């Protein structure tokens, strides 16, 4: 028997059950409620950003109530959690965001978009400065319902979430990374176990997608190098070349209002080095440092 800690939403359960199916054998699911689940009104970045959906799930593993924790990898803070390691990143889903309700081009002038993500808002505002934005929280089904209930012309969600819930047909447009660069590790799952649990680490090694894991490691290294104090919208997407060795990493930093967006690209074999190099290029050569300085003066 292996015990998997997970949040209780339909999407979180799908993710945990996917990992359980990959592992095979007897699985018990330990349902955990997180701070992000309890507070359904505050914007994620005001709650503390990454970590609000994972801390309580991680604690279930640390205190022995579960053997594994399954997360949306994008919800994990960029730094390691003491006592835990990411034992597996299974196959990655679609990394892109999707609009539900309208295509970007068809949105009326001054159209109202629902999104709780500063990353999505900033990039869409850069593409369409006329757009207006309203807060959007809750599970996927709730967000789709709020599009109608709260009068949004469209809402933005992760396309992988729609696919995993059998709702891909709800997407009006899937946004290419050239328009909206994804969040770090979007579309990927991360499975954590205790550092000292040799049996769990061995079992997870069998379901690890090496290419997906390397890509996620590069994106997380970028975020860590950018700095935990950075509250500006950022995105990253790493891809593995055909030979399976070279990583290509595209990264982005934007002003909160979307008036300025800077991008950088780098490549290499070592995920950590690629992520660090991309962050430094973005900050020191592409104008990212000026965005951070301007944000600091405005705060």
Confidence of residue 154 (pLDDT cuts 50, 70, 90): very high
Distance CA 212, CA 240 (A): 8
Tell me, yes or no, if 120 is annotated catalytic. Answer: yes
pLDDT of 289 reads: 92
Is 3 tagged catalytic? no
> Does 205 participate in catalysis according to the annotation?
no
Higher pLDDT, 117 or 51: 117
The pLDDT value given to residue 297: 66
Tell me if residue 18 is catalytic: no
pLDDT digits (tens, 9 = 90+) for 35-93: 655 554 554 444 445 566 799 999 999 999 999 999 999 999 888 889 999 999 999 99
How far is residue 177's CA from residue 66's CA, in Å, rounded to a whole number?
A: 36
SS3 205: helix
For the chain, the average pLDDT equals 92
pLDDT recorded at residue 44: 47
> Is the confidence at residue 10, as pLDDT, over 90?
yes
List the catalytic residue out of 230, 234, 263, 286: 230
Does residue 147 carry a catalytic annotation? no
125-146 pLDDT per residue, tens? 999 999 999 999 889 999 999 9
What percentage of the chain has pLDDT greater than the value 70?
A: 92
Spot the catalytic one: 92, 121, 137, 286. 137
3-class secondary-structure state, position 144 = helix
| pLDDT tier, 173 (very low <50, low <70, confident <90, very high otherwise) | very high
What pLDDT band is residue 227 in, cutting at 50, 70 and 90? confident
Q: What domains does the chain contain, in order, with CATH numbers?
A: 2-91+188-208 (3.40.190.10), 97-175 (3.40.190.10), 219-298 (3.30.160.40)
User: Helix-strand-coil percent breakdown of the chain, rounded to 5?
Assistant: 35, 25, 40
Catalytically annotated residue among 92, 96, 120, 263:
120
- Say which of 7, 74, 146, 164 is annotated catalytic: 74
Q: Is the pLDDT of residue 18 over 70?
A: yes
Residue 247: its H or E element: strand 247-254
- C-alpha distances out from residue 272 to 10, 60, 181, Å: 33, 28, 20
What is the value of pTM for the model shown? Answer: 0.92
Active-site residue 194, yes or no? no
**Annotated catalytic residue: which of 3, 7, 92, 119?**
119
Cβ–Cβ under 8 Å, residues 296 and 288: no
Whether the per-residue pLDDT at 219 is higher than 90: the answer is yes
Element (H, E) at 197: none
- pLDDT value for 229: 47
**Residue 145 annotated among the catalytic residues of the structure:** no
- Mean pLDDT along residues 279-295: 92
User: Region 196-201: what's the mean pLDDT?
Assistant: 96
């Amino acid at each position: 028997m292996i015990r998997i800690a997970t949040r209780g939403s339909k999407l979180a359960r799908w993710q945990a059950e996917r990992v359980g199916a990959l592992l095979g054998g007897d699985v018990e699911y330990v349902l955990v409620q997180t701070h992000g689940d309890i507070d359904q009104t505050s914007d994620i970045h005001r709650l503390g950003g990454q970590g609000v959906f994972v801390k309580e799930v991680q604690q279930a593993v640390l205190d022995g109530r579960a053997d594994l924790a399954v997360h949306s990898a994008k919800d994990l803070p960029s730094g390691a959690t003491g006592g835990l390691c990411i034992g597996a990143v299974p196959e990655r889903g679609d990394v892109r965001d999707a609009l539900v309700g309208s295509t970007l081009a068809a949105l009326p002038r001054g159209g109202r978009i629902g999104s709780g993500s500063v990353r999505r808002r900033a990039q869409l505002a850069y593409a369409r400065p006329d757009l207006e934005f309203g807060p959007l929280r809750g599970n996927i089904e709730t967000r789709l319902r709020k599009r109608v209930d709260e009068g949004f012309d469209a809402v933005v969600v992760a396309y992988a979430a729609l696919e995993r819930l059998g709702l891909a047909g709800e997407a009006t447009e899937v946004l290419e990374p050239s328009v909206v660069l994804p969040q770090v590790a979007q579309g990927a799952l991360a499975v954590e176990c205790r550092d000292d649990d040799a049996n769990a680490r061995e079992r997870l090694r069998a379901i690890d997608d090496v290419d997906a894991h390397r890509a996620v490691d590069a994106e997380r290294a970028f975020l860590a190098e950018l700095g935990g104090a950075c509250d500006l919208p950022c995105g990253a997407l790493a891809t593995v070349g055909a030979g399976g060795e070279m990583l290509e990493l595209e990264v982005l930093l934007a002003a909160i209002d979307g008036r300025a967006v800077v991008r950088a690209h780098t490549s290499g074999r070592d995920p950590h080095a690629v992520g660090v190099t991309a962050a430094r290029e973005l900050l020191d050569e592409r104008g990212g440092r000026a965005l951070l300085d301007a944000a600091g003066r405005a705060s």
